[in-house]
Amino acid sequence: MSETRTLRSLDDLRRLREEAHREIRVREATGTKIIVGMGTCGIAAGAREVMRAVMDELAARNIEAHVTTVGCIGMCAQEPLVDIVQAGASRITYGKVKPEMVPRIIAEHLVQGQPVEEWVVGQTTSF
Amino acid sequence: MTEPMYRAHVAVCAGTWCKALDEADLAEAMLAEISRRGLAEEVRVVRTGCRGFCSVGPVAVIYPEGIFYCRVGMPDIAEIVEETLVKGRIVHRLLYAEPETQRRLPRYEEIPFYSKQVRIALRNCGVINPDLIEEYIARGGYEALGKALTTMTPEQVIDAVKQSGLRGRGGAGFPTGLKWEFTRKAPGDIKYLICNADEGDPGAFMDRSILEGDPHSVLEGMAIAAYAIGAREGYIYCRAEYPLAVQRLKAAIAQAKEYGLLGERILGTDFSFDLRVKEGAGAFVCGEETALIASIEGRRGEPRPRPPFPAVSGLWGKPTNINNVETWANVPPILSQGPEWFASIGTERSKGTKVFALSG
């Protein structure tokens, strides 16, 4: 057991660091925040499942982003609502998000930098 | 990897003071409530070391937002979980209130006590779980040791510490690099390192905060010095009145050995270094280096006149380098961020930062 954990080079240490860093990322600053509406309306519309899908997708793609929850923002008819806030960009709100929509939002918005226009229901320039 | 990704971490202080205030076990209760609400796969509870703001403890910080809750008690737990973790709202009554204005400051970075600090020796205290070496490594831990062993000669390490301007944090302020050089140059094949963790001044808890909150920073600093000086063995002389510090040091040493960061052939190099903890005998005078050495040797803790200094004749009569806890904890960042960076902080004649304990 202990044999397998032994680090035999600086590269071994760096690999372990990268892996271990994923576990503490939540405690460090990052430029991207994904906000899921978790009011009663959001939860009833399936926000929890959407949030799980977001977290799974971020983990699978190893993307550095924080996932946070907020209460109802008043647009209950569009729930589940997911907002993406990136440093230096406007806050984009997606409405009626389903878990199966999440991979495309993350691929196009976070990875390629192109919001999925057809699903956007709101945009604000200041947080 | 099947490890779940957590969206939030609740960092609960598990330092001596917060634990003393905490009538039950807050972290345990928090975890139970989180599980009860079905959030166990999304929210992780982390026990950290001391954050230093003990007067408002027990404290808990909710990440990623960095929401700082003060004087958290058992009755507050359900509300924190319901409001903050389920609904994303802040529990205002638990926030820190600025004394002059009574304005509530939600994030710990906004609290002047924290925003005005530069933390070097305390860089990980309150942020990581001190019982998990992986969290220390995740923050860049042991990288400085790896750098020293693979890219620097012992002389270069000593030069870097000299250039940084680091002076002993135990009180006397002797230049650390110079002390290392004396021990390196002292004749003899066997040399020792000692960490003076016999912090006995009334009301002082600078070293305890580091030992409890980030024990690996001390271990790594010592391993770097061992390479620079040519020592294969070291002792941490820790006062027995610090049971939590002793426990965390022992756990840290065991974990470092498991990863091959202490022991034989560290990181696959020819360098070997072993560390053990010696508990103090409860005498204030043992904080003095010659008395401390006598105590490790099993003799009465009585000071002797110097010279000879320990650098020439110390433990078992061999050249020995003694530094205090805070000094050791400053060493890894000096190597990883460079001596110039360290020397750019501090005053004209004393570089870097100093930890202070205010009590009473």
- pLDDT for residue B21 is more than 90: no
Give residue A100's domain range. 31-124
- pLDDT for residue A127 is more than 80: no
- pLDDT tens column, A65-114: 999 988 888 889 999 999 999 888 889 999 999 999 999 999 999 999 89
Count other C-beta atoms under 10 Å from residue B89's C-beta: 15
- CATH number for the domain including B332? 3.40.50.11540
**Mutation choice for B interface testing from A3, A16, A54, A69 by most B CBs within 10 A:** A69
Do B64 and A30 lie within an 8 Å CB cutoff? yes
Stretch (H or E) spanning A91: strand A91-94
- pLDDT for residue B202 is more than 70: yes
**Alpha-carbon gap, residue B247 to B253, rounded angstroms:** 10
- The answer as to whether A119 is a domain residue is yes
Do B74 and B201 lie in a common domain? no
Give residue B278's domain range. 140-343
- pLDDT tens column, B293-344: 999 999 999 999 999 999 999 999 999 999 999 999 999 999 999 999 999 9
Do B178 and B76 lie in a common domain? no
Within 8 A of B5 by CB-CB distance, chain A residues are: 22, 55-56, 58-59
Domain count, chain B: 2
pTM for the model stands at: 0.92
| Nearest residue in B to A55, CA atom | B5
Alpha helix locations (H) across chain B? 16-21, 26-36, 77-79, 112-115, 133-138, 143-151, 154-164, 176-185, 206-213, 215-229, 243-258, 289-296, 325-337, 339-343
- pLDDT tens column, B146-194: 999 999 999 999 999 999 999 999 989 999 999 999 999 999 999 999 9
Do B74 and B149 lie in a common domain? no
Do A7 and B260 lie within an 8 Å CB cutoff? yes
| Nearest residue in B to A21, CA atom | B138
**Mutation choice for A interface testing from B137, B224, B261 by most A CBs within 10 A:** B137
- The answer as to whether B352 is a domain residue is no
- The answer as to whether A22 is a domain residue is no
- pLDDT tens column, B281-290: 788 999 999 9
Do B150 and B268 lie in a common domain? yes
CA A104-A41-B7 angle, 5° bins: 55
Among the three residues B115, B150, B175, which one is the final residue of a domain in this structure? B115
CA B73-B79-B80 angle, 5° bins: 75
Do B267 and A12 lie within an 8 Å CB cutoff? yes
From the list A7, A23, A59, the residue facing B259 with the nearest CB is A7
Do B149 and B55 lie in a common domain? no
